[in-house]
Amino acid sequence: MALRELTGLEVFRPEYKELDEQQKALVLEVKTKAGELFDLFSKTLGRETAVAKTNLEQAVMWAVKGITA
């Protein structure tokens, strides 16, 4: 399978895409489980924890983008 170049409009999706019920449920599940992990991370302090939280936020963003693509 050949890779194709994405346009800016494809990457940034200027129009809202309506999600089906399965996608909505999966997004909710990802965010709920990530919230639990975020709360667990919050029991510790430090630079490493801040980095872990930031990377968790990024992981959720990419997971949601993958679900809603």
Contact 21, 51 (CB under 8 A): no
The 10s digit of each residue's pLDDT in 8-60 is: 877 777 788 899 999 999 999 999 999 999 999 999 989 999 999 999 999 99
Domain positions in the chain are 18-68
Q: Is pLDDT at 64 greater than 60 in this prediction?
A: yes
User: Model-level pTM greater than 0.85?
Assistant: no
Say how many C-beta atoms besides its own lie within 10 A of residue 56's C-beta. Answer: 15
CA max distance for the chain: 45
The 10s digit of each residue's pLDDT in 41-55 is: 999 989 999 999 999
Cα 24 → chain centroid: 13
